[in-house]
């Protein structure tokens, strides 16, 4: 079974009640996020929702950054200089763990890239 990594946009959409995002999460048995996604979400959450958001994120396995992920992210950035560092780290995390990255970020990750799944835009 292939693991599934969720990008920040899908997590934010789920927290906002987006039906397609919630449907994506429901169909995955072992969802996980990168520590980068955790940081991006928690850095932007309003104080009033901080505790609830952290509880929600606790339902995901969180993959920490490693030297291998950092190397892979650096290579991705070198190949595509316009790719943001956070996006490169999240995608490198998915690649390093043999996972599919579920994202709506088609600017950085067009659906034709292997290992990317774009369920909606």
pLDDT in tens, 108-121: 998 899 999 999 98
Low-confidence residues of the chain: pLDDT under 70? 1
Which pLDDT score, from 0 to 100, does residue 62 have? 96
CB contact at 8 A, 119 and 24: yes
Which pLDDT score, from 0 to 100, does residue 121 have? 87
Torsion from C-alpha of 45, 49, 50, 53, nearest 10 degrees:
-90
Which pLDDT score, from 0 to 100, does residue 1 have? 47
> Under DSSP, is residue 50 helix (H, G, I), strand (E, B) or coil?
helix
> Based on the structure, what is the number of domains in the chain?
1
Which pLDDT score, from 0 to 100, does residue 2 have? 72
CATH number at residue 112: 3.40.50.1010
106-112 own/partner pairs: CB under 8 Å, 24+ apart: 108/83, 108/84, 109/7
- Domain span at residue 32 reads 4-117
Residue with token string 């560092």? 85
């Amino acid at each position: 079974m292939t693991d599934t990594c969720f990008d920040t946009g899908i997590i934010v959409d789920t927290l906002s009640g987006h039906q397609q995002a919630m449907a994506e999460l429901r169909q995955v048995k072992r969802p996980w996020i990168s520590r980068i996604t955790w940081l991006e979400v928690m850095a932007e959450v309003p104080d009033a929702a901080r505790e609830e958001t952290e509880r929600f994120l606790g339902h995901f396995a969180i993959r920490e950054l490693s030297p291998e992920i950092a190397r892979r992210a650096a290579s991705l950035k070198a190949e595509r200089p316009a790719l943001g560092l956070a996006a490169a780290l999240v995608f490198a995390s998915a690649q390093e763990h043999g996972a599919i990255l579920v994202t709506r970020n088609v600017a950085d990750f067009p659906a034709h890239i292997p290992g990317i799944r774009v369920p909606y835009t």
